Structure 1
Amino acid sequence: MAINKPILFILIILSFSQLSRAQSFRGAWEIGVSAGGAGYVGDLNQYNPVQVSGVNAGIFVKRNFNSYLGLRFNYNYGQIKANDANSSNEQFRERNLSFKTALNEGSAIIDFNFFDYAINDGTRRFTPYLFAGIGFINFKPKIKYQGETYRLDYLGTEGQENGYKNTALAIPFGGGFRYNYKDNWSIFTELGYRTAFTDYLDDVSGVYPANPVYVGNNPGLNLSDPSLHQTGAAGVQRGDFRKRDTYLFVSVGISFTFVSSKCYSF
């Protein structure tokens, strides 16, 4: 799932517009926590962009420049997984691939409120908002077999000599709704997607290798081609042809805003 470039462009324009129009305002720092579900769209889940397969939790520190615009720094932890054996698609069930990974994400995100939000002298106690930014993601796809856990990124299941990098850039984007329910306290809910600059969140990107990877004993498991009838011929595509995986966090959270009386001018 690729980022919607027109929406991102509009968000950036609106953000700079608000900065240029502001003559003076009270700045405010905000801290918050969130939790919810995590999911992914990729080679093992090609068609359901809202499928949740794990959990997420996060913390953030945010600078609110005015009642419309803020910049937050996030850390999010999540877990995602997928298993062809659970698919409704017969071809995927035959392919029989699976993975599970933890996600560690750090990001810087611009928030844009649609309404004049109550924090920082705004007039509205609620507002929908959009966000976009840049970050990085660390992932470690694994599989468990015969009681042992194997790191797929180390094993080169598609013939990679030294595996592949398990850290990549990510582009967060999405939207949500926040409500100032008491004094400096707010609650919020948001849905955010992340386009990862890697196709290996699920360990699937290229083709079946000529020399597959086996683990375990008697007879062991072919990690490169665990298909039910060993149908993965060398050189045949293992997954889809998209070059980037996407993951999502759907969250609810609570935050506290420290309002400052110092004025800034632009």
Structure 2
Amino acid sequence: MVVLLGAGIAAVKSDICGSWGCNEFGPAVSVGALYKLTTNLGISGTVDYVKLGATEKDPRRPRNVSFESEVIEVSGTVVLNLLDSYAGSGNYRSSRKRFVVPYVRAGVGAVYYTPTSFPGQSSLDDSQTTYDPERKYPAVAAVIPFGGGLRFRINNEFSIAPELIYHITTTDYLDNIGPRIGNPGNKDHYGVAIVKLQYTPVLKNKIFSKKPQGR
């Protein structure tokens, strides 16, 4: 069993913002656990918090809308190492662990989100006006996270793993703006760049750790 703690940044893709230029990058934090089934395969469960924000900068749309959204995600993923954790293979596999192991992950989950939209390019704290909610919040939607990363081994207990994960949701209201004419089928998604600290507790077997006693 591996304990996971992570921090990074998040960006959104929605009806009012589809590029990096209009994003207000927000914080992302994650906590969870990974259970290793084999040296190549594991299952993971995490709880993530991300803060999303963006400003509409399309000159064809004079509304100049901004939004901020707080999202809590609970998800489970399958983690597949693209290389064995140990060097070598077959009968020649070494007991030495690799320094770097690339991996991919994908799964399903749910997001619990609360957005607020407002005019202009100021922050929500400075805005004197907020728009009415498009639906009842907080709201819940399904999410599919997928992506990958690299795990760098420090020692038997600690590793560091930078990840890039994309999150496809089933809602169009992360920005408090519903479907627009011309793109009614588009949903809101977000991406997260995060660095995770992985801690593997070392459990010693007391039976074999005792010193031999004389007769």
Give the TM-score of the pair, scaled to structure 1: 0.64
Alignment CA distance shift 1:202-1:252 (3 Å): same
Q: Which residue of 2 aligns with 1:75?
A: 47
Q: 1:170 to 1:50 in 2, by over 3 A?
A: farther
> For the structure 1 residues 169 and 128, does the alpha-carbon distance in structure 2 shift closer, same or farther, using more than 3 Å as the test?
same
Q: In the alignment, residue 202 of structure 1 is paired with which amino acid?
A: D
Letter in 2 for 1:167: V
- Per the alignment, residue 176 of structure 2 pairs with 203
Q: Please give the alpha-carbon distance, in whole angstroms, between the structure 2 residues aligned to 1:80 and 1:258.
A: 34
Residue 168 (str. 1) matches residue 141 (str. 2): yes
Structure 1: stretches of 5+ with no match in the other structure: 1-28, 208-236
Q: Residue 253 of structure 1 aligns with which residue? A: 196
Structure with the bigger percentage of helix:
1
2: CA distance between counterparts of 1:193 and 1:125?
A: 26
Q: Is the 8 A contact 2:114 2:138 kept in 1?
A: no
Runs (5+) with no aligned partner, structure 2: 87-94, 118-123, 206-215
Give 1:1-266 correspondences, 5 Å limit: 29-48=1-20, 53-84=25-56, 87=57, 89-92=58-61, 94-118=62-86, 123-143=97-117, 144=124, 150=130, 155-157=132-134, 163=136, 166-207=139-180, 237=181, 240-258=183-201
Is contact 1:177-1:190 (8 Å) kept?
Answer: yes
Equivalent residues of 2:152, 2:161 under 8 A apart: yes
Letter of the structure 2 residue corresponding to residue 108 of structure 1? G
Distance verdict in 2 for CA 1:156–1:57, change over 3 Å:
closer
- AA paired with 2:176? D
3-state SS of paired residue (1:136): strand
Q: Secondary structure at the match of 1:112?
A: strand
Contact 1:41 1:49 in 2 (8 A): no
Q: Give the 3-state SS of the residue equivalent to 2:101 in structure 1.
A: strand
Q: What is the number of residues matched between the two proteins? A: 192
Distance 1:182 1:135 in 2: 31
Distance 1:44 1:175 in 2: 27
Letter in 1 for 2:31: I
Q: Offset at 1:244?
A: 1.4
Q: CA deviation at 1:179?
A: 1.0
Q: Give the Cα separation in 1 of the matches to 2:21 and 2:81.
A: 25
Cα distance in 1 for partners of 2:21, 2:106 equals 18
* More contact order relative to length (CA 8 Å, sep ≥ 6): 1
In percent, how many aligned pairs have the same letter?
26
Query: Which stretch shows the higher mean deviation, 166-175 or 45-54?
Result: 45-54
Aligned partner letter, 1:199: D
